[in-house]
Amino acid sequence: MKGFTLWFTGLSGSGKSTLSQAIEPVLLERALKVEILDGDVVRTNLSKGLGFSKEDRDTNVRRIGFVANMLSRNGVVAMTAAISPYKEIRDEIRAHTETFVEVYTECSIEELTRRDPKGLYKKALSGEIKNFTGISDPYEAPENAEIVVNTERETLEESLEKIVRSLELMGLIPAGEDNHTSPAEEVVIRERLQALGYL
């Protein structure tokens, strides 16, 4: 299989890292090479020293895009999980990447404020944190993302299934071999076998 870049974009806490980590074992099971470029992790090494000005944010996202492209053109599924708030930069990276799949993790500010596991939204709303995306800095939602998951309405499993199925349908990952016959299927199979006189 060819590599590709699976670019998650969405507000802080919307599920980018969670989903990318959930997808990783699915792809590994299907014999794909996988790397996750998580926004928080990248900032501690590849982008160490960069701040949160627009310029620094753009530089951070461009660096992630550069590395993701290098990985994906060498057969790796490169998953990125950075907020990547600006459409212009995402489109610039898309233009330079052979196979770019954008995944928008949609979630309302109200829900994110309610979740707020790190207390960041609370601090941003109180003004303690400046330039916080979605509160005091813009987030430009993608208009034509290949995949949109709504982590407010969908469970993690539903969002995961949607992404994996979409990648299968795009022919980017091999189809999974789900060999299990569910109890509900067994009920139908029993009925059919009975109808033909086998049970």
Partner 1 sequence: MTSRQRLCVVGLDGVPIGLLERLANEGVMPNIAARIEAGHLRSMRASLPEISSVSWTSFMTGVQPGEHGIFGFTDIDPGTYEFTFPNFAQVETPTLWDRLGQHGLTSVVLNQPATYPARTIPGVLVSGFVAVDLSRSVKPLRWLGSLRRQDYRVDIDTARSRGDHDWLFKDLDYTLQARGAALGRLWDEVAWDYLQVVVTGTDRLYHYLWDAVENVDHPRHQQAMDYHRAVDRFVGQVWDRFASENTEPDKRFWMLSDHGFCGINQEVQVNAWLREHRYLAIDDGGRDLGGIRPESRAFALDPGRLHIHQRGRYARGSVAPEQTAALKTEIADEFRSLRYHDEPVIRDVHDAADLYHGPCADSGPDLVLVAHPGFDLKASPTATEIFSRTDLVGMHTWDDAFLLAPYPIDDEELWIGEVAGHLERGFGN
The two three-digit tokens of residue 149, written as one number: 């998951």
Q: How far is the CB of 65 from partner 1 (least distance, A)?
A: 28
The two three-digit tokens of residue 6, written as one number: 């699976």
State the residue for tokens 């349908």. 169
Cβ nearer to partner 1, comparing 73 with 162: 162
Q: By CB under 8 A, what part of segment 111-170 binds partner 1? A: 165, 168-169
State residue 151 phi and psi, 5-degree precision.
Answer: -80, -5
Catalytic residue among 14, 20, 72, 84: 84
User: Does 197 participate in binding partner 1 (rule CB under 8 A)?
Assistant: yes
Cβ nearer to partner 1, comparing 28 with 187: 187
> 27: closest CA among 168, 169, 145?
168
Sole binder of partner 1 in the list 44, 45, 144, 179 (CB under 8 A): 179
Cβ nearer to partner 1, comparing 70 with 169: 169
Q: What is the 3-state secondary structure (H, E, C) of 79-148?
A: EEECCCCCHHHHHHHHHHCCCEEEEEEECCHHHHHHHCCCCHHHHHHHCCCCCCECCCECCCCCCCCCEE
User: Does 183 participate in binding partner 1 (rule CB under 8 A)?
Assistant: no
User: Does 31 participate in binding partner 1 (rule CB under 8 A)?
Assistant: no
Is residue 159 annotated as a catalytic residue, yes or no?
no
Sole binder of partner 1 in the list 31, 44, 88, 196 (CB under 8 A): 196
Sole binder of partner 1 in the list 40, 110, 158, 185 (CB under 8 A): 185
> 5: closest CA among 147, 142, 102?
102
CA 162 centroid distance within chain: 11
CA distance 199 to 114: 54
Site size toward partner 1, by CB under 8 A: 24
Catalytic residues: 84
Interface positions with partner 1 (CB under 8 A): 165, 168-169, 171, 174-175, 177-179, 181, 185-186, 188-199
